[in-house]
Amino acid sequence: MATIATPAADRPESMRSIFAHVATLARRRSQLTVRTPRELFVPLLTPILFALVIAPALKQALHTSVAYESFIAVGTIGLLVPLNTMFAGLSVIVDREAGAQRELLAAPVRRPTLVLGNLAVAFAVTAFQIAALIVASVARGIHFDATAGGAAWFLAASALFTIGMYGAAETLASRVPKQEEYIARVPAIAIVPWFLGGSLFPIAALPIGLAWLARLLPITHALALMRYGLLGEVGGLRDIWGMTSAPMMAWLSLLVVTTFAAVLTAVSVRIFARSALR
Amino acid sequence: MTNGSAIQVRGLRKVFPGGVEAVSGVDFDVRPGEVFSLLGPNGAGKSTTIGMLTGTVAPTGGSARLAGFDVATEPLAARRISSVLFQDPVVDRPLTGRRNLEIHARLWGVPGREIDGRLEAIVDAFALAELVDRPVGTYSGGERRRLEIARALVSEPTVLFLDEPTVGLDPRIRLELLDVIVRLRDRSDMTILLTTHYLDEAERLSDRIAIMRAGRIVALGSSRDLIAGLGDPILELHVHGDPGAALASLGRAGIARADAFAVGSTLIVSARGRSAGEARAAIVAAGVEVLTAVERRTTLDDVYLWFTGDDLAEAA
């Protein structure tokens, strides 16, 4: 009869080991993603259409200024990020229904790393798409006016907004049992806030009740910060906060978007860990 | 304390939301290197028990240790030394077999420099060379099952869980897989916990068998012990009429005791020195027709039916 060695205690994992697990999981997720190229390109179609076709058409029809094209180009990022992260969340349901999720749950890795592995790929794909959108906009003649500091604001806002939206997607994917139910809820999460969040027009143009609602939406803060960073435009921040100090308003909105990202990430990890176990 | 057990389960219990008690406080120990089967009908709690041991089902109560590691308080260590073959296919179908094996190896902490060697060895051992670089979605059911078993072994687990490993496979592939598991049992010190509702599988593969019914272990021992417990030989009578009345008549004649039971129109009675002819006469005297009456060796099927008969009758 065989014997087993006296067991050692459950040793804490090193950071290196945790990073190695996240890297393995992210590599797995990216390999699954590239096998479905629609996940990379479909979310890009609508924002590109808005930035490159609809905004110039509106400019011509409504006699708006060149600045409106830039305004819309940034606004479409507010559509691109939710659409892409929602697509990424769908893959969590596929994993659960027909993939290797239970094998991953039986693996000797911490459950949050499973979420972080997915997040890393959703983040990278979104970054690629935002870059593609900006390159396409510039190629179409749309003008951006970013300093190094402005670029930092833009990157921080878009990164945190992406993280928060992926948290929302992962949470939704963990809560709903079927892909059909998930897809049915996507418009309410990804598209309705986009219309209210100052993407196509300043929130000051909204009726007062909706304007107050818009001030509570993370997308409104994210878009205002992106425009502040990429266009040097402070109107969006002023519509939210009504202050005179642009940096102060930017920091406050960054705090809102950071809180959104942190809370949604924590909630998504918690909900995943709870719902994945039967 | 491990108590020297590879698997130690104490009062393990699972109540699902809605109040369904799938496992009602089971206790058992599995020795290192032993093949231990959980046998029972669908819904007996076998897969839920494995789920709690592998960390994919949260226990409601009780405790379990794998090689001394508590699955609740030391989950990473417990999962590090174990692997599981799930009842349903659990693979990344768009990825190749090799990539599925490699992901398992990396997550289970196989050192990077050893991964290629381990993969080549396991690919050879399971005759996967021609499949392993194809997407798993192109595999047949049997090929995918072979890959999943190979994957579970890449990390060289101390404890291997096989949850209904041959369910849904055609008979030829099933027999091939049973051979694989037999070789595994014969060649290694690995502890294997197997769930099945195929009696031949349990009898062929296991050192000991626990029969589960409605979330409880109702019998535990080697197949020989379990058969001896029921009594050998046995009388099997097929009746046309009320089997309850037939059993009662056997009871009145002192032939049937509490361990006699009926499954449909078939009565199973421990012989205890009485003949099939005596049993037939007792039943006929009660006005029930006897179609056949034979004395035969007791099998694990009889033990299983004795402990799970009601469930089987309901399922049928």
pLDDT above 60 (res B173) = yes
Cα(A158)–Cα(A165) distance, rounded to whole angstroms?
A: 10
Tell me whether B79 touches chain A (CB under 8 Å): yes
pLDDT in the model for residue A15? 81
Structure ipTM: 0.84
pLDDT above 60 (res A3) = no
Cα(B295)–Cα(B297) distance, rounded to whole angstroms?
A: 7
Q: Which of B56, B69, B74, B187 to mutate to test the interface with A (most CBs of A within 10 A)?
A: B56
- Which residues in chain A are contacts of B68 at CB distance < 8 A? 4, 6-7
Tell me whether A18 touches chain B (CB under 8 Å): no
Rounded average pLDDT over B117-125: 91
Across the interface, whether the CB atoms of A100 and B91 are under 8 A apart is answered yes
Across the interface, whether the CB atoms of B77 and A8 are under 8 A apart is answered yes
Cα(A222)–Cα(A155) distance, rounded to whole angstroms?
A: 10
pLDDT in the model for residue B316? 35
Residue A97's Cβ-count burial label (10 Å; 0-12, 13-18, 19+) is exposed
Confidence grade of residue A258 (pLDDT, cut at 50, 70, 90): very high
Q: Which residues contact B167 (CB under 8 A, 6 or more apart)?
A: B87, B196
Torsion (CA) B184, B185, B187, B191 in degrees, nearest 10: 100
Q: Which residues contact B316 (CB under 8 A, 6 or more apart)?
A: B264
- Mean pLDDT is lowest, of A41-45, B7-11, B117-121, B138-142, for A41-45
Across the interface, whether the CB atoms of A108 and B31 are under 8 A apart is answered no
Q: Which residues contact A196 (CB under 8 A, 6 or more apart)?
A: A203, A206, A210, A213, A214, A217, A220
pLDDT above 80 (res B2) = no
Token pair listed for A66 = 């060149």
pLDDT in the model for residue A278? 74
Rounded average pLDDT over A173-195: 92
pLDDT in the model for residue A151? 94
A203-215 confidence digits (pLDDT tens):
999 999 999 999 9
Ordered alpha helix ranges (H), chain A: 15-34, 38-49, 55-62, 66-98, 101-105, 111-139, 148-175, 179-186, 192-196, 208-216, 218-231, 235-241, 246-276
Cα(A51)–Cα(A53) distance, rounded to whole angstroms?
A: 6
Token pair listed for A106 = 């039986």
E-strand spans in B50-197?
Answer: 61-66, 69-70, 82-85, 159-163, 191-196
Across the interface, whether the CB atoms of A2 and B33 are under 8 A apart is answered yes
Rounded average pLDDT over B283-306: 88
Name the DSSP class of B138.
G
